[in-house]
């Protein structure tokens, strides 16, 4: 059985699919893949026999079969050396020895960190594709909402209070813009993830004079970016990935928060297509997808902080800082991916209620248009702001306040107090956002969108 970090809660927080790319078995497969690729790369520079490389690759594939490696036993054997590469290399060498392959053909010139870092980069790229796909899906859903509701009036709220009219399309356009930006940043971080190959102390001494060529060949075998130099203790690739996942989580949280609030009973402006119920209250229609997107995203900043605070790796190999990254990064991918998936589900089936939006626009009795009335009244009196402020404070409807009606006709006030007549550039901004999306080049990573 494939083990993930949480079979009970992964489905709740949207992480089921991305977790498959980050399971214990996925880790073992990635480690074996790197070892096999290293032997093949060594063969390209004359440090391993091509036939041996083919055998190592075949045996590694056999060990990758379900049940071929006892993961629990591997974990126990990993404790002595502090990482699973040491016992796994021993297992691989023993297996290829039965086919006449010498031990020297496995783990050529490498240190454990080379294999584990490169495996983490592979896992991050693969899981990252899923995160990106869900971020794009959420952005596309938001863009479609923006298109459909570019002129649908809704309250713009600032500091928790009604401010001015806007359109729901303009709000949704802001969602898709943030999600697109976050996806692009994550795509760049994933594309830059490099191979790791430096040997025992980062000098490639064991494979001199072939070190740089072998490192490049290994990168090409794995489809990772080529390293400039070994980055054993310069953790900017990992930190950049963590930061991009943090930005993505924040971009997810924004629309998830808006949907959660707008779906409240008092607002009733949107509803999820498949809301969740309550174990105690039959009437509840909870926006569960948005809620769980927020929950997953809220756990991300702390993990980003862990990665950033662990960047001070000492000298040529860190004692603890490196080890702290493995599960932290995979958890970041699980949670970031889960949050994006749950948001995509929320926005993809979101039901919009323009009637409720119109109702909420009217609950102040026209005060939401006070700015517009003040502007029109200012053409007649320098005391316009004081007059409108006094009427609002007294609870007098603006179309009934004597000091206002003395200057503005009933017809003028009807026009001034119509929310749909004071939307500014809301619809234009939707068009601008959608046009910007259409003009973006297709983003790909390793040939995948």
How is the chain split into domains, by residue range?
A: 16-357+429-439, 367-416
Partners of 166 in the beta sheet? 154
- Joined together, the tokens standing for residue 184 give 């692009």
Phi/psi for 66 (5° steps) reads -55, 130
CATH 1.20.200.10 is right for the domain spanning 16-357+429-439: yes
Which segment, 58-62, 277-281, 436-440, is predicted with the most confidence on average?
Answer: 58-62
Q: Whole-angstrom Cα distance, residue 96 to residue 355?
A: 70
SS3 194: strand
pLDDT for the residue numbered 113: 98
Contact yes or no for 339/14 (Cβ under 8 A): yes
Q: State the Cα–Cα distance between residues 236 and 228, nearest whole angstrom.
A: 13
Whether the model pTM is above 0.75: yes
Q: Which residues pair with 165 in a beta bridge?
A: 155
- Spell out the residues 6+ positions from residue 256 whose beta carbon is closer than 8 angstroms to its own: 290, 291, 293, 294, 297, 339, 342, 343, 346
- Which three-class secondary structure state does DSSP give residue 44? helix
pLDDT, tens digit, 9 for 90 and up, residues 103-123: 999 999 999 999 999 999 999
Q: Which residues are catalytic?
A: 278, 317
Cα 18 to Cα 334: distance, rounded to the nearest angstrom: 6
pLDDT digits (tens, 9 = 90+) for 135-178: 999 999 999 999 999 999 999 999 999 999 999 999 999 999 99
Residue 345: name the closest of 50, 15, 118, 76 by CA. Answer: 15
How far is 278 from 284, CA to CA, in rounded Å? 6
pLDDT tens digit sequence for 7-32: 778 888 888 888 889 999 999 999 99
Confidence of residue 444 (pLDDT cuts 50, 70, 90): very low
């Amino acid at each position: 059985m494939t083990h993930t970090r949480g079979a009970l809660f992964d489905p709740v927080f949207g992480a089921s699919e991305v977790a498959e790319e980050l399971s214990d078995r996925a880790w073992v497969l990635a480690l074996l893949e790197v070892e096999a690729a290293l032997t093949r790369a060594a063969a390209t520079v004359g440090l391993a026999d091509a036939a041996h490389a083919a055998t190592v690759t075949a045996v590694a594939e056999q060990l990758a079969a379900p049940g071929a490696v006892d993961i629990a036993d591997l974990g126990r054997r990993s404790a002595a050396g502090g990482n699973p590469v040491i016992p796994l290399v021993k297992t691989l060498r023993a297996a290829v020895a039965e086919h006449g392959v010498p031990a020297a053909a496995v783990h050529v010139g490498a240190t454990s960190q080379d294999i584990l870092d490169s495996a983490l980069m592979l896992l991050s790229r693969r899981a990252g594709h899923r995160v990106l796909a869900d971020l794009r899906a959420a952005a596309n859903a938001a863009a479609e909402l923006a298109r459909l509701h570019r002129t649908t009036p809704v309250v713009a709220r600032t500091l928790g209070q009604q401010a001015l009219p806007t359109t729901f399309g303009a709000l949704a356009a802001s969602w898709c813009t943030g999600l697109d930006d976050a996806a692009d940043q994550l795509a760049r971080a994933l594309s830059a993830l490099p191979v790791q190959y430096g040997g025992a102390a980062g000098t490639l001494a064991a494979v001199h004079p072939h070190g740089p060529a072998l490192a490049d060949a290994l990168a090409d075998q794995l489809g990772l970016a080529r390293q400039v130099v070994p980055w054993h203790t310069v953790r900017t690739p990992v930190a950049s990935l963590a930061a991009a996942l943090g930005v993505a989580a924040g971009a997810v949280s924004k629309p998830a928060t808006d949907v959660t609030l707008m779906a409240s009973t008092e607002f009733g402006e949107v509803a999820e297509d498949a809301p969740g119920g309550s174990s105690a209250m039959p009437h509840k229609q909870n926006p569960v997808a948005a809620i769980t997107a927020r929950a997953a995203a809220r756990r991300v900043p702390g993990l980003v902080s862990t990665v950033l605070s662990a960047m001070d790796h000492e000298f040529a190999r860190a004692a603890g800082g490196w080890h702290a990254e493995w599960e932290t990064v995979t958890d970041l991918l699980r949670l970031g991916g889960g949050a994006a998936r749950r948001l995509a589900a929320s926005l993809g089936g979101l039901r919009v209620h323009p009637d409720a939006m119109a109702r909420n626009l009217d609950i102040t009795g026209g005060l939401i248009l006070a700015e517009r009335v003040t502007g029109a009244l200012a053409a007649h009196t320098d005391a316009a702001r004081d007059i409108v402020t006094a009427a609002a404070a007294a609870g007098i409807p603006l179309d009934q306040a004597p000091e206002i009606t003395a200057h503005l006709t009933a017809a003028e006030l009807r026009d001034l107090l119509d929310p749909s007549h004071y939307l500014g550039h809301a619809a234009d901004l939707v068009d601008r956002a959608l046009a910007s999306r259409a003009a973006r080049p297709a983003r790909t990573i390793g040939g995948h969108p």
